[in-house]
Amino acid sequence: MIKINEHYLKLQASYLFSNIAKKVTDFQTANPDKEIIRLGIGDVTHALPQACTEAFHAAVDEMAVDSSFRGYGPEQGYDFLREAIAENDFQSRGADISADEIFVSDGAKCDTGNIQELFTLDAKIALPDPVYPVYLDTNVMAGRTGDFCDGRYEGIIYLNSTKENNFVPGLPTETPDLIYLCFPNNPTGSTITKAELQTWVEYAKENKALILFDAAYESFIRDEALPRSIYEVDGAREVAIEFRSFSKNAGFTGTRCAYTVVPKECTAFDAKGVKQLIHPLWNRRHCTKFNGVSYPVQRAAEAVYSEAGKIQTTNLVAGYLKNAALIAKEINTLGYDFVGGANSPYIWIEAKGDSWEFFDMLLNKTGVVCTPGAGFGKCGEGYIRLSAFNSYENVEQAMLRIKETLV
């Protein structure tokens, strides 16, 4: 008799963004004349930078000719892309990361979800609340939690991110093995200082823990004092893995390209307490379960680092930041408390009530889609998230409708 993995039965009915998408589709079906403005899921709306599409086209042309055609590529990614990443995203900022520590993949969602496979099932997990649901759900699926009771899974160490701590959680009282951090934060848009990040790195060292640092939104940082990578902090190479993506800086949400950094000093412990390197284990997993990102997509990603690509991606992000600033300004004028909107594409707003009710009210009265904070965890109740990923005109229109409804 084939038995299912019962841990899947502990999951909430559907993935947050699938749930929202269904609600929006139902609303649109019932109100075909209403024009919906999506400020919900953090999906980009502007076209790929021209430098990327030109490189993409040229690589497709190479694939059309026997002499330049490529079959399977290296699972870890082509050297041309790994070298461009190491040099531009790390070495140029004083972070000591080499090309062979970069693993190119088809998404930070997959990588942040898959990484937990390397660790024992009794690993104690600490994650922020509110949190990007993938970190939590993949640990539930693996069986690292108990049941879902009163809005939380048993066995998880929740790091409350609240107004009181400015949405940057403090160190836990119970000692974890694996710590998920994400800055600029999804969903709150909060940022972390180098000193705060240093505290986490030292804590991980002292407690033989590992930090999984999701930096998918680093390109939105404009404040030069803020760290863009955890490797800008001393000692992080031994205790941190970092996740990055081309989705938000270069519009690759539909194109798919990301990468994970596993420094060669990064270790976890075996059953005897002996240090084991993580790099060869992740490499082994990657080679067994993944066959690499397509050649044209990697050429398109490489173009992000060309002279033209740097200008175009900077402008792309600047456009979304302009939207974020407009949302923040209008929300402030309306007298709502919020965080984010600078150095981040997300604005986390105190809803003055139930977050799903606020979501429904906003959709029904304005046709604007937000993300209810409760979908990100218990501490998200009472909040909603607005995303800056849309055209400036649509954001202006959305804020006009919101102002008319909320004043």
The residue within the footprint of ligand MLT, chosen from 37, 42, 219, 246 (CB under 6 A), is 42
**Closest listed residue to residue 368, CA positions, set 4, 99, 23:** 23
Q: How far is the CB of 45 from ligand MLT (least distance, A)?
A: 12
DSSP codes, 92-146: GGT----GGGEEEES-HHHHHHHGGGGS-TTPPEEEEES--HHHHHHHHHHT-S-
CB of 42 to ligand MLT, least distance (A): 3
Q: Which is nearer to ligand MLT, 201 or 398 (CB)?
A: 398
# chain residues binding ligand MLT, by CB under 6 A? 6
Q: How far apart are CA 260 and CA 393, in angstroms?
A: 35
In the complex, what is the shortest distance from the CB of residue 339 to ligand MLT, in angstroms, rounded to a whole number? 16
Q: CB 373 → ligand MLT: shortest distance, Å?
A: 12
Stretch that binds ligand MLT, among 35-43, 114-122, 147-155, 337-345 (CB under 6 A): 35-43
SS3 state of residue 214: strand
State the minimum distance, in angstroms, from the CB of residue 150 to ligand MLT: 24
Answer positive or negative: Cα dihedral of 126, 131, 137, 138. Answer: negative
- Could you please report the per-residue DSSP string of 19-66? HHHHHHHHHHHH-TTSPPEE-SS----SPPPHHHHHHHHHHHHHHTST
The minimum distance between CB 94 and ligand MLT, in angstroms, equals 28
What does the DSSP 8-state code read for residue 182? E
Specify the stretch interacting with ligand MLT by CB under 6 A; choose among 38-46, 170-178, 299-307, 392-400. 38-46
Cross-strand partners of 125: 178
CB of 276 to ligand MLT, least distance (A): 30
Question: Residue 318, class by beta-carbon neighbours within 10 Å (0-12 exposed, 13-18 middle, 19+ buried)?
Answer: exposed
Shortest distance, position 264 Cβ to ligand MLT, whole Å: 28
Task: Considering only the stretches 36-44, 155-163, 303-311, 312-320, report the one whose residues sit in contact with ligand MLT under the rule CB under 6 A.
Answer: 36-44
Using the minimum distance from each CB to ligand MLT, give the nearer residue, 133 or 292.
133
Phi, psi of 371 (to 5 degrees): -120, 125
**C-alpha 398 chain-centroid distance:** 24
Which of 263/375 has CB closer to ligand MLT? Answer: 375
Contact residue for ligand MLT among 43, 87, 232, 238 (CB under 6 A)? 43
Taking the chain, what is the end-to-end CA distance rounded to the nearest angstrom? 60
What mask of x and - would describe binding to ligand MLT in positions 220 to 259, judged by CB under 6 A?
A: ----------------------------------------
For residues 337 and 286, what is the distance between their CA atoms, to the nearest angstrom? 43
Query: Is residue 317 within 8 Å of 249, Cβ to Cβ?
Result: yes
Closer CB to ligand MLT, residue 105 or residue 198?
105
In the bound complex, what is the minimum distance in angstroms from residue 375's beta carbon to ligand MLT?
Answer: 10
Residue 24 makes contact with ligand MLT by CB under 6 A:
no
Judged by CB under 6 A, the chain residues 346 through 365 that form the site for ligand MLT are none
Q: Which of residues 115-144 bind ligand MLT (CB under 6 A)?
A: 132
**Which residues in the 90-109 window bind ligand MLT by CB under 6 A?**
109
Considering the complex, what minimum distance in angstroms separates the CB of residue 349 from ligand MLT?
15
Piece of the chain touching ligand MLT by CB under 6 A; list 40-48, 113-121, 273-281, 323-331: 40-48
Whichever of 229 and 344 has its CB closer to ligand MLT, that residue is 344
CB 166 within 8 A of CB 175: no
- Residue in the block written with tokens 């990055």: 244
Checking DSSP bridges between strand 258-261 and strand 210-214, what pairing results, if any?
A: unpaired
CB distance 308 to 136 below 8 Å: no
The verdict on 186 binding ligand MLT (CB under 6 A) reads yes
The number of CA neighbours under 13 Å toward the Cβ of 313 is 26
Taking the complex as a whole, the smallest distance from the CB of residue 22 to ligand MLT amounts, in Å, to 16
The Cα–Cα gap between 159 and 163 comes to: 13
Q: Does 41 bind ligand MLT (CB under 6 A)?
A: yes
Of 216, 209, 212, which is closest to residue 242 (Cα–Cα)?
Answer: 212
Segment lying near ligand MLT (by CB under 6 A), choices 29-37, 39-47, 113-121, 161-169: 39-47
User: In the complex, which residue's CB is closest to ligand MLT?
Assistant: 42
Site residues (vs ligand MLT, CB under 6 A): 41-43, 109, 132, 186
